[in-house]
Chains A and B, each alone.
Chain A
Amino acid sequence: MLTITMPAILFPAISLILLAYTVKLIHLGGLVRTMKSQYMQSHNEALLSQLANLRKRIYLIRDMQALGIGSFIFSVFCMLLLFVGYLEIAKYSFGVSLVLLLIALFLSFREIYISAAALKIEIEGLEKVNEEGR
């Protein structure tokens, strides 16, 4: 049985997760810009594959944010419906909200999984430099 306080339990969780996503996006955006100017100067191939990785992740984060916001909208909508007294529709709205949050978290998992790849490329470049130095 849904009460008016139930969807509100999701609120702080969703907003914190959105905050985390936003910080990530801002950080990656800045990184893309600096890497691009580095590439313009040095034309290092390793930077290109890192940029491709970052770009993919930025798209993932955008989708995560969109899904998170969608989940938030549906849970506020659910609260509104409960408040007005439409119990049946409110249940569906809450269900949609939870499903959207699940998809967002799943994408987040994938993003974290590929996030180590960019660093790996960076380190491989370092190893090459080391070998050439010898």
Chain B
Amino acid sequence: MELTLTTPALLFPAISLLLLAYTNRFLALATLIRSLKGQYVANHNPNLLGQIDNLRTRILQIRNMQACGILSFFMCVLTMWLLYNGQQLPAKYAFGASLLLLMISLFISLREIQISVKALEIELSDLEESILENQLTRK
């Protein structure tokens, strides 16, 4: 299929919005880790350690997602530049690489989402214990 100058430009809004979403996640997780660490230092609750571990894995995954997204963006712009210079074949390779990198980024994102609820689950797990204790003391 013939590449035109506007084809790579179709990816621009998608990639930049995706990066914005990643950045949001990243910021939220980073602040959460800081506050959880502060709480852990104060009360040494082992629950917090499990959560921090989960958040740490996810932050690394998000970093990789962002890196792949940025590289995909880079390849996209490179494609445009190559097309502008009239080099069709290298432009095609660059565009293919851009699409592949975007897919890798999305795959990592899918894995990150799969483990994303775990931290909250750990947070609520000791709540369930405390409810049980409550009911026992009532009896």
Q: Do chains A and B interact in one complex?
A: yes
Residues of chain A whose beta carbon lies under 8 Å from any beta carbon of chain B: 4-5, 8, 11-12, 14-16, 18-19, 22-23, 25-26, 29, 32-33, 36, 39-40, 43, 48, 51, 55, 58-59, 62, 65-66, 69-70, 72-73, 76-77, 79-80, 82-85
A22–B120 CA distance with the chains assembled, in angstroms: 15
A82 CB contacts on chain B under 8 angstroms: 1
> Contacting A23 at CB < 8 Å: which of B24, B95, B117?
B24
Which of B92, B99, B102, B113 gathers most chain A CB within 10 Å?
B113
Max chain B CB contacts within 10 Å: which of A32, A80, A85?
A80
Interface pair B1/A85, CB less than 8 Å apart: yes
Q: Is the interface of B mostly helix, strand, loop or mixed?
A: helix
Interface size on B, residues (CB 8 A): 37
Docked complex Cα distance between A53 and B43 (Å):
28
CA gap between A11 and B9 in the complex, in Å: 12
Known: A4-B1, A69-B106, A76-B103; 15 extra A-B contacts, CB below 8 A, are A4-B7, A11-B13, A15-B17, A19-B17, A19-B20, A22-B24, A23-B24, A29-B28, A32-B123, A51-B124, A55-B124, A65-B116, A69-B110, A79-B99, A80-B103
Contact at B10–A11, with CB atoms within 8 Å? yes
Assembly CA distance A65 to B112 (angstroms):
10
CA distance A15 to B64 in the complex (A): 18
Question: Inside 8 A of B95's CB, which chain A residues have their CB?
Answer: 83
Interface string of B28-40 (1 = CB under 8 A from A): 1000100000000
